[in-house]
Chain A
């Protein structure tokens, strides 16, 4: 069983790597050149590693939330929308607090507001699920697009979050957050890595303990495997479902808050960068293991910054990384059958 999983993941990685090499060739660089550029982009500088860590933190938070909901049998496709809700709420809080608010007050407040907003966004789907039986896959998917449009709305309307328009060059984005609401850097030389990474790590560990070592975790597992049996045995099925999906949204919202509280400290049109969808994929690939969530999130974060350097240094389109990532996902998802039959 273990060797089989190893073969599946190894094979998928190898196949994706091969595809990457071909893409590099197609882009006019030798695979070695491209590999070097990718490596340089991933590990070559403190800056690269730092920005990878920031990306990984956001993906990890979303994937951790996904895992909580998935344990209760719910598929949270809505990370993107919840991320947007969290980002909007964080931006509202972060620009309207008095300038002098100290970090110890402002930052927790901003993150908490982001968590609450992401949770509330997911709670819509969760409520529809437990009260009307509407599939959370469909509702969370739809809420993504509404959330993205909401960001569009608040950054374009001056009455909402748009910075004062002084010229035609004024970008549709919010004013920067106050100093106290910004995520402190980890303090590594030349690295933009913020404490978001620590927050994500703490969240992952806490969730791992919750799921594996507590009665609540076991109850969630029971609900995830069989709603009817769990209900028959007196478990509060609806409450468990509602709160698991809502907390998943909260964690995604917090990721949104963290993104807004990282340079350039504004809410902009495309601030989510598709992290919600990528986080979903991380959660799916990790298949319920929080250790795997951390690993895959890190890998995806590194690949993202590696891809940018790939374009800059080797002239290979950055979309190569997107192709390789999606191929990896497809191979692993498609190979599930091999493990199922073994």
Chain B
């Protein structure tokens, strides 16, 4: 391609000899050798037990465990998000009692190990054998045994959800603080009340900051849900351990469980990517193409030779 310059010279497109990168070749060679060793070992080392991994991967108890893991992850995460948004808004409230209470909650639940919190909810009936509904310090109307109320699922939800709420409150607070102060003033000058401006103006903008760590937290929650083993909640790791206890094959079964966790976190990662794009609307950064868009673009540009760099910026 040649371009006529203003002075009338013909400017050749530059076709220089590319810079050589010997370091890259050396690093590639080293990594290839290491990868070959790893592959060799995984294929020849029979202790990996690939046959066992395969035979249990889709077995009914494992699939049930996966379902339970997903169920617990989403409920606990939902509890965490709702509590987190609530406590973040409270924490930033001009009311000192509300903001103090939110501070106390975050301090306590972020400051103690989630493992201990789970055990605590599991053993709650030692502390509070019955749970009653009624007037504080007055007559009580409904009595329930804590043991029936706090099932393994409830204990797991309380343990993971309350802990998540404390972390999530700080994420939401960071998001709210990232919104330009002028946005608050503009909304106030239009007569919006605090709750209205939070819901319609501030939180949607805070989402751009909140969403990436939310994906992170959800993935983290999916893995942390395996701690629910201690409250005998029958999720994936619990089911896996049951099988290990009867087959004495820990390595293949733990590999199998890890594959499931990887599969689930991968799906979540893809979901996060698209949610982030949604909340980037109106932001100053141009959205990168999705892999599918990129594939389509590459297929169409392949037909339209030569390769064009201007395709990068536009949507």
Q: Does chain A bind chain B?
A: no
A interface, CB within 8 angstroms of B: none
